[in-house]
Chain A
Amino acid sequence: MDPTIFRLCMTLSAILFTLGVVGVVVRRNAIVLFMCIELMLNAANLAFVGFARYFGSLDGQLFVFFVMAVAAAEVAIGLAIIVVVFRNRETVHVDEMKSLKQ
């Protein structure tokens, strides 16, 4: 495989992961925070597929499959938690979620 594409793949993966981290640090909306986590997971998946292609192995693609399944479960539970918090507190602003009790 062309090493340039592999380098670009890894750099792009780093850029997307960093966008996700910056989003989690900067944004305060819990739903957008979840989207940024999805972005980070996708960056990791891209790195997996790039490595799988580079080393001529299929195992990386299998890992991507499992990451996607776990991401789907995580999003379902996370959004359910957000909905419950919104019902109790009328906000999705993470700075206002200060106490464990209501």
Chain B
Amino acid sequence: MQLVLFVLFGLFAVLGGLIVVGNRNPIYSALGLVVALFSISALYVILGAYFVAAVQVIVYAGAIVVLFLFVIMLLNLNDRERLREQFTLRSVIGIVLGLVFVAVTGLTVWAVVHPGTGAAMPLSDVGHTKQVGRLLFSNYLLPFEVTSVILLAGMVGVLVLIRFHGRGHRS
């Protein structure tokens, strides 16, 4: 049952990724990204990472994709922008190299991972939000604080960019 669900949501995620890459309209790309992100969130639930799944939905689908859609609609890209993407030799080379990469990685994974390796813990011990929080505020306290500083720096950076470098004038 777990396996069936995993394959199903994995296929959804790949479908969403294909929509992101293959669609000319950026809005459809953003919606494909939503599909991929929700499917990956479902995969996290199957893997026992409930906290990560919730954060995935809230942060990615709730904030990041909304930001993407907001910018797409703010810029108001016209059809001229949309139709200039064309299929060139570079695309062919990129797709061929991508297929080679997938083949090499997949074969490596299926050859290296043997049944019985790895310390399999029971599902009830992994992914409990309480344990995640306890670890976050003990072993990973410093990275947690640094993360907040990164977010603050990002916010200040965006404000400076928009305030002083928009419209081509400096002040």
Contacts and interface: CB of A to CB of B under 8 A. Distances in A.
Contact of B59 (A25, A68, A80): A68
Interface string A7-30: 111111011101111110111110
B126 A16 contact: no
B47 A79 contact: no
Interface in A15-62: 15-16, 18-23, 25-29, 31-32, 34-36, 38-39, 42, 45-46, 49-50, 52-56, 58-59, 61-62
Interface in B61-105: 63-64, 67-68, 71-72, 74-75, 77, 81, 84-85, 90-91, 93-95, 97-99, 101-102, 105
Nearest to B63: A72
A63 to B, nearest CB: 9
Contact of A69 (B30, B119, B151): B151
Interface residues on A, range: 35 or more
A36 B13 contact: no
B151 A3 contact: no
Contacts of A53: 47-49, 126-127
Contacts, number: 244
B150 A73 contact: yes
A58 B121 CA distance: 11
A99 interface: no
A89 B127 CA distance: 47
A71 to B, nearest CB: 7
Contacts of A15: 14, 17, 102, 106
Interface of A: 1-12, 14-16, 18-23, 25-29, 31-32, 34-36, 38-39, 42, 45-46, 49-50, 52-56, 58-59, 61-62, 64-66, 68-77, 79-84, 86-88, 91-93, 102
